[in-house]
Structure 1
Amino acid sequence: MADNPIEKLHEQEREHERERLRAQEEKDLEVESHRGARPLEGYAGGHTTWTGAQDDEAAARVHAGDADASWEASERQARLEPEPHRIDEDGD
């Protein structure tokens, strides 16, 4: 450590910050060591009947064609083709 009082203060502050970060890292590692569902922030104590299977079912329906649509869009972009024009219900 330096003889300068200001440098000593700065070194102490850095050491306190390192200790704080170490403590936070230990807490993070402790939490991460436990497997399981993570509650939503703010709803940790709430009870629900929603299941992970419901999420999976909804995602399967909503995103069923995403991979194919993405592949087709990539192919069009590679060939520099314009995006297909969608016809609205109004006929536009």
Structure 2
Amino acid sequence: MAERILEKQHEHEREQERERLREQEQKDLEVESHRGARPLEGFAGGHTTWTGDQDDGAAARVHAGDAEASWEASERQARLEPAEPKDEDEDTSGLRRE
């Protein structure tokens, strides 16, 4: 008897899942039937239209000098030299030199 109740429960859960999937499929078909602007793709980690070429182009611009900067920093560290300040007009406290 317990097996029969458990089997009915499982069947009910499977039917609910099938109904949920049918509803989702119907929504997808309705959206796909209309042409026009699409919502943001990839916002929640899904498929996007962003291409690898776009990544490569952006990375080339943003990280163009990273290898040289890293090499120079490693060389300074190996010679135990202090890091160069980013702005020569300011010292490490953020105050202007006179």
TM-score over 0.5 (shorter chain): no
Bigger relative CO (Cα 8 Å, ≥ 6 apart)? 1
Q: Which has the larger radius of gyration?
A: 2
TM-score (norm 1): 0.45
